[in-house]
Structure 1
Amino acid sequence: MGSGFEEVVEICRDLIRIDSSNYGDGSGPGERAAAEYVATKLAEVGIESTLLEPEARRTNLVARVPGRAGPALLVHGHLDVVPADRELWAVDPFAGEVIDGFLWGRGSIDMKHMVAMILTATREMQRRSVQPQRELVLAFLADEENAFTLGSRWLVNNHRDLIADCTEAISEVGGFSVQIRPDQRIYLLESERKGVAWLRLTARGTAGHGSITNPRNSIGILSAAVARIAGHQWPLRLTDVSGQMTESLAKLGAPDVSGDPEALQDSVLAPVAGMLTSSLRHVANPTVLKAGRSLNVVPGSAEAYVDGRFVPGYQEEFLEELAFLAGPDVAMDVLDLTAADQADPGASLVASMQASLAAEDPGCKVVPYTSSASTDNASFADIGIQGYGFAPLKLPPGYSFSSMFHGTDERVPVEALIFGARVLYRLLTGEEPSFTPDRPPDT
């Protein structure tokens, strides 16, 4: 492998070929092979890594790169990916093929592209003997696609000393572009994340024979509650960040994201419409149903699971409304609760992100936004680390960015990968990516 920012494509391809699927039930290959690959790439340029495993093969990696000044910056990515159904894909999801200018594969967007960009930028600064502006703590984590339990949460609870001096963090789901006019590209910077409430609904009725009328059928009671929740129209809830986003987009002539989401499907914001509209209101999606074992037996109980995402500042409102929708005959238990978290969109780090993007893409505009999902940044927010989503990608018009997350035929533009590695290098070092100091040739 040669040096330079182009190696980001090969590194990302290699990572995709390492199956690190997280099934959420303890099965799967784990993250060890991917973590060992990362450790090797860092070792090649003189950076030592610490590998930490809360369980066998569930591996986290932490490394440090000395900086010139200032508090440490946490730069992190997760190594696990959601499972992929090979039969539904046009290509093998773990082959890492480049086709028509896109690198295909599970994790190419969520989020092995950012892992590859971090490695590429770090390797290049080491080759050039350029220190980053701030001390860097690099963290490559397990279990983000489940509940952070064996990854960022475990690191915070068991090895806080490794990250305690970090004041800010950068990771996924931000820094990507949207072409809103032929002459105007914006980059959405994640400065806030919705909270997560994973819920279990339980309806208890009267068990009995399937041939006898049963007004207390647990499945019927539960189904009515699930239908109410699935069909509920949640009202608009703006925060400081999302309010700033809607105002910025309006000033730039973009469509109104606070109105009818369906109206955006044929607009310039279609590639990110689902993400943006969902960030402005609560979301509650029933995802699992469990009831019955025999066709002729009415079960005495039935369960449903709901993935709830609430707007920052409105957690209690959200849970109270869900309990009302479930109704008095359905018990609601919170299985896991991740608080919403925010970071200052006016921080100096954000100004540096804007400058790094503008240097590579003159004339672009950066717009802070609220993510509809949570990330590992939520775990680090618990100990006072302000987290931003900044995995920079200059995307072609019409590229359906939001559908790539957990989707079939996930793929990333090759040129966007190289662009992202260059922007990240600028941000971390303050140097021009074209800067080439005197050094011996690569061997």
Structure 2
Amino acid sequence: MDVTELLSALIRFDTSNYGGGRSAGERDCAEWIADLLREAGWEPQLWHRDDAPDRVSVSLRVPGTEPDLPGLLVHAHTDVVPVETDDWSVPPFEGIIRDGYVWGRGANDMLDTVAVLLHTLLRWGRDGTRPRRDVLFLFVADEEDAGQWGAHWLVDEHPELFAGLEVAIGESGAVCELLPTADGGLARVYTINAGERGTQHIRLTAQGTSGHGSRPSGDDAVHRVLHALVRIADHEWPLTMSNVVQGHYQGLSAALGVPIDFDDEASLLRLVDWLGPQAGPLRYILRPSSTPTVLRAGYKVNVVPGLAVAEVDVRCPPGTEDFVHDTLGELVGDQVSYEYITRGAPLEAPTEGPFWDAMVASILAHDPQAVVIGGCMGGGTDNKAFARLGMDTYGFTPAPADPEGRVAAGYHGVDERVPVASLRGATQMMHDFLHTV
């Protein structure tokens, strides 16, 4: 089965994850994946929490020909974010293939990688190919929320599944970007994400005395939480330059011929401005961020509520987790309490060694003009769960550029799609990496 057909079939499963434990469920998709693997001669396992039989993940461990080598985890999630169907120009769950694209929710987040990994396993099953080292393939549920039914649950309850694994390869990295150079050309840049900003989602709670709206006290619950939110939202976080962030900027500067000075923030931001919409997370990985996103209080306009709750999305680059935690305590103040909803540490992995070299080689073998650099994600992935087991983690889902200029689009948005040529090229790059690493 061609990788485009695999992706089209995967898109036809509605695995929408609405957050807060509400989901269409991954079971049907997981069972379809497991059936395909069984037909190819494999023996996959299905996993789910007892209280969530529809939130199913699939694992398959392929023994290596050199079992003394450290093992590799390669993972992809099967859940997708919800859609607003009326805004789409195509049905979001039909997996339509046209105009050189595969269209549909999950086409590039990240059912495309699920299809690529399945294609590799079906090929190996047919040909009898085996990797050098043990490779654990994991098709996991619940990445688009907190992972409590997916990666984090598996790490907490079944750590034995990951025995002997040293490195985890996950989503978002090594997709070719054609970036403008200072001499008027285009550089073919592949950014393998060797880092992620940490996640510190917090919930603020302010309490006060309820009363009549016509008798303001100036010290009620809403007033208290709003003052805390203003301090948090307006805080000017300092510039931070961990090794992986510095390497990201150095790599781009060299590839594009745009000089930078690490002692001059304006110089760094000129690189961001040079790239414009293609700068991606560059602006945000330079420092922590704190963004109020949820505010709940009151039930009637003339009643002062006795309780106000807010939630804030806080992100911290590698090396800043403790500093951000201490600073948040100061910003919240003593009239509002706070707790962590999610606390995932920032990640930073080496950009050298056999795993890194194999990733780079698998790209250069198919795109000799590629410039491969290490990078840092502005957000986070399931790699945060696997890093807790001591693994080095990378965002590595390689894909070449479409020769006719098509690019993947609609990530978490409308008309999500991925170029067919890039998808087929991705299967070759990933197959070579997994076979030779």
How far apart, CA to CA, are the structure 1 residues paired with 2:255 and 2:33? 40
Structure 2 equivalent of residue 237 of structure 1: 240
Please tell me whether the aligned partners of residues 198 and 335 of structure 1 are also in contact (alpha carbons under 8 angstroms).
Answer: yes
1:198 equivalent in alignment to 2:205? no
Secondary structure of the 1:200 match is strand
Secondary structure of the 1:150 match is coil
What number of residue pairs does the alignment pair up? 424
How far apart, CA to CA, are the structure 1 residues paired with 2:212 and 2:339? 29
Please tell me whether the aligned partners of residues 407 and 418 of structure 2 are also in contact (alpha carbons under 8 angstroms).
Answer: no
Task: Give the 3 Å change call, closer, same or farther, for CA 398–285 of structure 1 in structure 2.
Answer: farther
Please tell me whether the aligned partners of residues 225 and 309 of structure 2 are also in contact (alpha carbons under 8 angstroms).
Answer: yes
Task: Give the 3 Å change call, closer, same or farther, for CA 269–400 of structure 1 in structure 2.
Answer: farther
Please tell me whether the aligned partners of residues 228 and 332 of structure 2 are also in contact (alpha carbons under 8 angstroms).
Answer: yes
How far apart, CA to CA, are the structure 2 residues paired with 1:58 and 1:146? 12
Aligned pair partner of 1:328 in 334, 340, 349: 334
Please tell me whether the aligned partners of residues 199 and 313 of structure 2 are also in contact (alpha carbons under 8 angstroms).
Answer: yes
1:48 equivalent in alignment to 2:43? yes
How far apart, CA to CA, are the structure 1 residues paired with 2:14 and 2:287? 35
Aligned pair partner of 1:349 in 355, 365, 378: 355
For residue 382 of structure 1, report the CA deviation from its aligned partner: 1.2
For residue 263 of structure 1, report the CA deviation from its aligned partner: 5.9
How far apart, CA to CA, are the structure 2 residues paired with 1:399 and 1:323? 47
For residue 139 of structure 1, report the CA deviation from its aligned partner: 0.8
1:363 equivalent in alignment to 2:369? yes
For residue 102 of structure 1, report the CA deviation from its aligned partner: 2.2
1:304 equivalent in alignment to 2:307? no
Please tell me whether the aligned partners of residues 272 and 283 of structure 2 are also in contact (alpha carbons under 8 angstroms).
Answer: no
Aligned pair partner of 1:315 in 317, 321, 324: 321
Structure 2 equivalent of residue 220 of structure 1: 223
Aligned pair partner of 2:55 in 50, 55, 58: 58
What's the TM-score once normalised by structure 1's chain length?
0.89
Please tell me whether the aligned partners of residues 103 and 414 of structure 1 are also in contact (alpha carbons under 8 angstroms).
Answer: yes
For residue 215 of structure 1, report the CA deviation from its aligned partner: 1.1
Task: Give the 3 Å change call, closer, same or farther, for CA 254–377 of structure 1 in structure 2.
Answer: farther
Structure 2 equivalent of residue 437 of structure 1: none
Structure 1 equivalent of residue 191 of structure 2: 188
1:300 is aligned with what amino acid? G
Structure 2 equivalent of residue 412 of structure 1: 418
Structure 1 equivalent of residue 380 of structure 2: 374
Please tell me whether the aligned partners of residues 178 and 269 of structure 1 are also in contact (alpha carbons under 8 angstroms).
Answer: no
Deviations 1:18-75 (A, max 9, x none): 1111122222221111111211221221111110111211111111222222222111
For residue 261 of structure 1, report the CA deviation from its aligned partner: 8.9
For residues 14-413 of structure 1, what are the structure 2 equivalents within 5 Å? 14-54=9-49, 55-69=52-66, 70-181=69-180, 182-253=185-256, 259=266, 267-268=274-275, 270-271=277-278, 273-395=279-401, 404-413=410-419
How far apart, CA to CA, are the structure 2 residues paired with 1:278 and 1:111? 23
Query: Where do 5+ consecutive residues of structure 1 fail to align?
Result: 2-6, 432-443
Query: Where do 5+ consecutive residues of structure 2 fail to align?
Result: none
How far apart, CA to CA, are the structure 1 residues paired with 2:328 and 2:97? 45
How far apart, CA to CA, are the structure 1 residues paired with 2:299 and 2:315? 31
Deviations 1:360-418 (A, max 9, x none): 111111111111122111111111121111101224598776x7442333221221111
1:48 is aligned with what amino acid? E
What's the TM-score once normalised by structure 2's chain length?
0.90
Identity %: 37
How far apart, CA to CA, are the structure 2 residues paired with 1:204 and 1:399? 53
For residue 106 of structure 1, report the CA deviation from its aligned partner: 1.7
Secondary structure of the 2:373 match is strand
Task: Give the 3 Å change call, closer, same or farther, for CA 265–354 of structure 1 in structure 2.
Answer: closer
Please tell me whether the aligned partners of residues 290 and 312 of structure 2 are also in contact (alpha carbons under 8 angstroms).
Answer: yes
